[in-house]
Structure formats: C-alpha cells, structure tokens
Structure 1
Amino acid sequence: MSPVSSPTIRWGILATGRIAHSFASDLALVEGNELVAVGSRSTDSARQFSEQYFTPERAVHAHGDYADLAADPDVDVVYVASPHGRHEADAMLCLEAGKAVLCEKPLTLDTSSSGHLIEEAHRRGLFFAEAMWMRANPNIRAAVAMAHDGACGRIAQVRAELGMVADPDVDRMWEPALGASALLDVGIYPLTFAHLVLGEPDAVVAAGTMHERGFDVSGGAVLTYPGGAVADVAWTQVAHSDNRASIAGDVGRIEIAPRFHEGRSFTLASGGSVHEFADPVTGRGYAHEIAEVAACLRAGSTTSDVLPPDGTLAVMRVMDEIRSQLGVSYT
C-alpha cells in the first residue's frame, strides 16, 4: 500500500463495547493519531460514543451502520472491536471498502477463517493485523528479547497463566453465538507468550472444563518443542489466577509480575542476584500497538513485524488443536 501522507493517522472504530472505549482512551494519548469515526449497529450508541470522544479540534462521525463506517472517506484505518464471532465478517467488510484493518484478538474463531482474511488483505495490498496488544508491550518485548539473548541460558521451561471471573453481563464470554470460549478470550495470552519465547510446538496435550452450553471455561495445556523445552499454560474465566509468567533456563529465570499480559515490570534472577526492569506503559497498554500500526501505515507496510500474520496463524493453529481436544466446536 502507499504510505499515508497526512500528518495524522485517522482511525475509525467498529463497535462500541468496553474494549472500544479502552482503545479510544489510549488512542487519544498517541501523538499523530486521532479518532474520526465510530460505527455501531445502533445510531444512538454510535452518537453517544462519538460525543464522549469529541474534541474541539475534530468531531467524531457517528455511523449507525458498519458499512457506512467502512465507506467513510476520512478514515485511514479501522479498529474492529466487535465480538470475535463477528470478526471475519466485520473485518472483511472493511477490507472490501479498501480500509486498513487492526482487528481485535482473537482474529477469528479458527485458522481457516483467519488465513482467509490475511490472504484477502494481501491480495488487496492493505495493511492488516490482529490486535494482540501484548505483543507490543515494551516489557514483554524486552523480557523476550533478553531471554533470546541468553540471559536465562538454554531455555527449558515457560510458564504462563491468566484467569479472572468473567462478568455475567459480558455477552461475548457466555454466548456461543458470539464465540464464547475462555481459550479464545483468555488462553490466547499465555499461548502467545509461549509462542514469543519458543515458537511453534511439536506437540500439544490439553484438558479443560466445559460449560453446559458447549464452550470451555477453564483449561490448561503442555506444549513441547524441538530441543526439549516445555511450556505449561493455563487459562480460566471462572477463577482469580495469579496471572504470572516466567521463562526459565539453566542460567537464570525471568519472571513477569501479574497481570503478566499487561507487562508493567519483570525481574531477572541469575547468579544469586535479582534485577528488576520496568519500561513505561502508556495508558492501558493499547497505545503501543496503535503507534506500531501508525508507523506501518506511514511507511506503506502491509504487515507489522511486531504484530505478524504468521504469528497470529501459529497461535491459532495451537488453539484449533486445543479446541479439538476439548471438544469445542462452532459449527
């Protein structure tokens, strides 16, 4: 795609749920980016959202239809914030309108549909990425880089778990039609962390607990890798986990404080000493992926090294395997 020549990257947000509000709040913190439009299936919801993020410099266009948002000529890139059961259709709508897209995680419900979106964006020459904001977190990036540089020695074990008690009023967590799954909503974080450190596994063994409506609410998996490394990951939407992550080798151990996917600090224990590291995190943490997308658009890049499509598909393949072992199906 051609580089975006305007001094400001102009964003549209598709859907007006909680994550959209968090994203909009962080967007206001990133210089050279601004919210110019929002789309909802409800005109009233779009109008209320636009009024909340109105600034004296620019009004936010309120569209009561996703197609109208996708067609808005003032929008450079759309952040898709709908429930993940809708991601494939909503992201495709934006791509067909010629818009760059940052789509909230998980990209879709399975590898096949994720690959289809990625291929379509490539065919059209449009920027496209999954909004796995943890990948852009400066402390996560620093901890992984430190491990790859040998700070822990030969890496033998990665551990990561994430859990919380899901709000019963958050439909996407409990409604199968919206893609309800603790694995897709929560487990994707520890699995992505393991992938950042160790890459794609040779084998996966998983188990979990199912809701009466046919989706998983808790689970865990052991992943094994070439060379003998092991990752132990767990996730839940029905319990308050300790939300920690670690990378351990034959020289030392990196530990990321809870909640690890937000990455506010980490420690390296090696040689009898413990050193703490902490890079500033802007806002809730979404600002870093916003800045990355903006840099790609200005450079004319259709993919991001920080939010790579290959990484999205690799994690999705693991989640497909885990879903198969748990017996979760969306067909």
Structure 2
Amino acid sequence: MKHEEKVIDLAAHKQNVANFFKGEFIDENILQVDSEVASGFILFFQESEKVNMMCFNIQLNQDVSYYINLENSSYFNRAAYFFLNNAYICNLNDNNEQQVKYNGFLTANKEIALKGKAKKGDFLRHISMYYDEHLFDEIRNEEIKTYYKSKQEFLIYMDARDELQFFRKTLWRIFEYPEEVRNKIIRIKLQELKYIFLQRLVSLDVSKLDVKASGITTYQLTQLFMIRDRILNNLKEKPNVAELVTETGIHKTLLQNLFQETFGYTIYNFFTVNRLEQTRVALVDKMMSTSEIAFEFGYSDVQHFSSQFKKMYGTSPSAYYKQFNDPSE
C-alpha cells in the first residue's frame, strides 16, 4: 500500500492519516485503527497554538510505503520526528535522498520531505511534532533564539541519549494502560518530549558556528553520516579531521560547523562523548575494571580515562562501578 500526502492544514492532515490507515475517530483527537492496513491507535495533541503532535502506536497488517511532502502546509513551517527509524529524507531543492537511521530525533523545515517503507508486522511507534518559529520564543538565550529563527533550512539530529531512552521506554509501557488513563498520560508525556527537544536546541554553542543560512546539501549530509558512522564503529581511534576534509572535499571550518550544527558536537567531542558512554555501559554491564576499559577503548593511560570520565559523569570510574556492583548486596 502506498501513501502520498501533501499536507495543507491540520484538519486535512488528520483526515489523510485516517484515510490511509482506514481508521475511525472515537473522539476529535483519537484515531482508532482496526483494518486490513493496521491495528492500534494514533493520538493527536495540540500542545499549544504553535505546537501540534501526533503519537503513533500502530502494528502494520500489510507492507506500506509513504511519501510526505510538507512544502504546502499552512499550520506549521518546521517538523520534528522522534523514533522513526529507516526513513529517507528528501531535499526538495535538489531532489536527492539520504537514509536516516536513528533512535533520537531529527527536525527540519519544509524543504525536507519524508519517505519510507515498512513491512507487515512492523510496529510504528513514533511521534511527529509540527511547529513554527514562535516555539523558539521559549528559549531565553537571545543568541540561540535568533540563530534558529534565522535559519531557513536546517537539519538537527540527536542520537538516543539517556533522557530519550528513558522517555521511550516509559511511553511504550504507557501504551498498555487502560484507554481512559493512557490517553491522558500520553498528553503529559508529549509535553515532556517538547522540552527534551528544546533542551537539545539550547545545548548548541552557536557562538562557535559560522554556517550561512543557505542550509545543508544532501551531499554534505551524506558525508556527515559517513563520518558519524565511522566514529561509532571504531571508538578506539580518534578521528583524523584533516583526512576527513581531504576525503569529503568539504572545507575544514564548514565541515566542523555542519557536523556540530547537525549532531550537537564537534567531530572530536562527538567521538569523546560516545566513547565515554560506551565505557560507562561496559562498567555496568560487562563489569570490566578501569584499566581493562582504558585498554579496550584505546585510552593512552588509565589516568587520562579516569579524568575524562569524572569530567563527564561527576564521579570516578571505580566509584561509578561500585554504585552498580556493591559486593555487600
């Protein structure tokens, strides 16, 4: 089954979703689905005049493909997608595509279309948020607020960090609650998600960026994901920025700026944060010693590793280990 949608206004958007899944509105904002297409529910939530959200809990009964063009929408000019894996984003200006695999979120303006495929039996458990630049008024930092309001084209991406992982796990459990309780709690959770989203935006150090408002090309985005995947696949070795500049053909300053704008960190800091996160997991799950972890993840010495770990998590590796592996218990 194929779904193509050009979003015009909120009412039309909701009706298009209902028509595609062959669902029935049991009230104005809850779509119940029990059809040959899928089973489950979709909750629509108007958090404010400037923010509308859709929460999907659908299991597919057949293969589907979709293409959502947001270019002509009237009720928002930016969109954010949470937990929607294996989708493709398509830049309407150059008509090129980039596959995005993520467990966090991406947000972009209306120059980005969304497309994807899902198989029979798959669960669609994701959240879409549609908003306009007035949402940025909730940001107190004037420099950051001005930065985002001035961006005509942008793409922001975030891997699943602790707050998003915890949010997703609790939300999935809430899906199993009785309907009359479930729907009320989901609305509260969606408000929470909006502020997790805002926190990601305000964490960007815009004072160090010098990216023009022209946006990011599909080629540049492809290269950024190549760099990201390469780092995550080899957390023992520090990324060589000079080699990446040569390989991608993107100027060093622009490459660093685009990477930080898209992923929230410079290339080296992205490596550092993700390497430390893996050491934290190893301490708890694998019960490795501090020296073993330092060797496993390519640190020059144990003291350097311990210093970086304490700076990141506020405690030493050995103290963190004891929190989860108390021999007296």
What's the TM-score bracket when you normalise by the shorter of the two chains? under 0.3
State the TM-score, normalized to the length of structure 2. Answer: 0.26
TM-score by length of 1: 0.26
- Rg: which structure is higher? 2
Q: Highest relative contact order (Cα 8 Å, sep 6+), 1 or 2?
A: 1
